[in-house]
Amino acid sequence: MPAASPLELWLLRHGATSWARSGRHTGRTDLPLLPEGETEARALAPLLARYRFTAVLVSPLQRALRTCELAGLAGQAIHCDDLQEWDYGAYEGITTAEIRRSVPGWTIWSHPCPEGETLEGVEQRCRRVIAQAAALAAKPLSDSIPPLPAAEPRRVALFAHGHLLRSLAGTWLGLGAAGGALLALDTACIGVLGKERDQRVILRWNAPVQWP
């Protein structure tokens, strides 16, 4: 029996929004992309068109949905509530500098969000997303899709948000959601998670669209 194709998770942060540019925590507030964010999202399309994706999961928030659409993968998109950004609770719309006036040294990775989501809750969501992506990648392909060569990865694209995708990468690596503290991710940039032999690794991170 032939070996299963390797799994790759392509993590795509949405394009720029007004709050992302000003550093305000944007959890469940459903902001649109800025015009420059739409330009960033369109720039993803030529790169992504060079690859075949077994499945596409997208956060239901409009900034992620629009990025997926402009990047050319909306036709495959499956809405995934677990890909929504952190619920920042009382810190929604507030910058880190403002929070630190009352909570010195505060970070999303080390301190709680009053009335918001816990780090453990975010990690549970990340584990569910990884399991869902793996299950979708393992499904037989449609008869209308040419079979993948054995060595070609089963790629699953995940369109979502900065802190959530960083948390997911930390979870993938066995560091837990808090491992995302080590992994900066800019708007409309790409991370690719996979394996080297049996070890989960980062194959690319915070990559702009110009990479070969």
Q: Which residues are catalytic?
A: 14, 85
Whole-number Å distance between alpha carbons of 65 and 61 = 6
Question: 14: which 2 tokens?
Answer: 């949405």
